[in-house]
Amino acid sequence: MASSVEVIVPDGTFYAYLAEPRSVPAPAVVVVQEAFGVNADLRMTCDELASKGFIAVSPDLYWRQQPRVELSDKTDWPQALALYEALDLDQAVSDLQATIEQARAMTWCTGRVGVVGFCLGGLLAYLVAARVGVDAGVGYYGGRTDEFLGEARAVRGPLLMHLGDQDEYIGPAAQKAMRDSLTPLGVEIRTYAGCSHAFARHNGAHFDAKAAAKANVRTVEFLNQHLFE
């Protein structure tokens, strides 16, 4: 079942898409957007997670700039890039913390909350794990993660990352730095041969059905392991 909720923060409220499983109580997963907002692709991901037994909540992180904007990866790159570059990452982490806390307090939530993010959201999943702590975190091709490896030792909670070895935004040096810093700390990094950035985006230019399916199965197994206890 799909609906929406309003997340309350000190300077206002913002929309979050909500997809609920057939059976509750259930753990929650905060699904963090790419540069394109909470669009049809992201809502599809939420619906898929709900079908696996999770409460999926996807907050609008652009609400201070352009509330409820939905962009296409086919036609809206300039607008998406402008919003992405203007986003305050510290504020975004704070908004995600508020979303996590509100999800945890839902009467139909078990109290366990994970975070799954894509691209921008992949970076934010890592930052939330480092700055807030998570019951489980998953980052798909989190661009710029290598710029924040100084925070690696602060990560609290299990963390899984998915990377394509041909990612044009996360090159070999960045991926090596991520593995060198994060793997010794217990972060699980999975690499997908021949895959570019956004290989798991539904109907995206670089969508790889086989790799996406494998990554998504690993994600659900990881969430099951850490959120259903």
| Residues 207-226 as b or e (16 or more Cβ within 10 Å = b) | ebeebbeebbeebbebbeeb
Quick check: 95 and 14 in contact, CB under 8 A? yes
What angle (nearest 5°) sits at the alpha carbon of residue 117, between those of residues 111 and 119?
170
Which of 167, 206, 208, 226 is the catalytic position?
167
Per DSSP bridges, beta strands 109-118 and 55-59 are unpaired
In the residue annotation, 197 being an active-site residue is answered as: yes
Helix (H) or strand (E) holding 85: helix 77-86
- The number of C-alpha atoms within 13 Å of 33 and in the hemisphere containing its C-beta is 31
**Biggest distance spanned by C-alpha atoms of the chain:** 45
In the residue annotation, 146 being an active-site residue is answered as: no
Which of 162, 197, 206, 226 is the catalytic position?
197
Question: What residues act catalytically?
Answer: 167, 197
